[in-house]
Structure 1
C-alpha cells in the first residue's frame, strides 16, 4: 500500500469509507472533536482537550470495526489519514461528498444509519 501523494491516498481512503454510515460516524467524530477543542478554549476546561481525540477517534474506529469491517487507516498513515478525515468532513459539510464519490468512480450506496 504505497501511495505516491495525498491524491492517490485520498482515492484509497474513500474506498475504505464506502458505506454512508461509516462516513457519518466520521463526520460526527470530527465534529465532536472540534467542538471539544473549541469548548476547551472558550471555557478553559483543559479536560476537554483529552476528550477531543477520544470522541473523534472513538466514533470513527467504531465505524471501521462494526460498520465497514476494516481497520482504520490511521495506524498505517497517521498524517495523511488525518488530512483525509478533514477533507471528507469538509466535503460532507458542504454537501459535495456524493459528487466526489462520482469523480473517483464510486457510486454512493444507499443505506440507513
Structure 2
C-alpha cells in the first residue's frame, strides 16, 4: 500500500475492511480526486447496465478501463499518491463503491470527518 499506511499499522496492515476504509478515505481527501472516482464509478455502472441489458457483453471488457482511468488520474495527478488497489485490490474496489454510495446518499461528509479525510 503505502509507507503512511504501514507506519500506522506496524503489524503489517489491515485485518479487515473496517480498519482499511478510514485509510482509503484519507487517500481520497481531495474533492476533485473523489469526483473523478464518482465519474468513473457512474460510467462503470452505466456501461455494465447497458452491456447486460442489451446482451452486448463485449462491452464488459471496458469496465476496468473506464473505472481505473478516472481513479488513477485522480491519484497520480491530484492526490499524488499510489492507488490502494495496487496492494489491496478487493478492499479498494469495495471501498470505491462504499465511498460512491455514501456520496450519492449524502453521507460522505460525516464519513470523511470520522476518518480525518477532509482536504489537506
State the TM-score, normalizing by the size of structure 1.
0.89
Task: Return the offset for 1:43.
Answer: 1.4
Report whether the alignment pairs 1:54 with 2:72: no
> Does 1 or 2 have the higher relative contact order (CA < 8 Å, sep 6+)?
2
Report whether the alignment pairs 1:94 with 2:110: no
d(CA) in 2 for partners of 1:105 and 1:46?
40
Within 5 A, what are the aligned runs for 1:8-87? 8-87=19-98
Aligned structure 1 segments of 4 or more residues deviating by more than 6 angstroms: none
Q: CA RMSD in A?
A: 1.4
* Residue in structure 2 matched with residue 103 of structure 1 by the alignment: 114
Count of matched residue pairs: 109
* Residue in structure 1 matched with residue 14 of structure 2 by the alignment: 3
State the TM-score, normalizing by the size of structure 2.
0.85
Structure 2, unpaired ranges of 5+: 1-5, 7-12
Structure 1, unpaired ranges of 5+: none
Task: Return the offset for 1:102.
Answer: 1.5
d(CA) in 2 for partners of 1:92 and 1:21?
13
Aligned residues of 2:26 and 2:116 also touching (Cα < 8 A): no
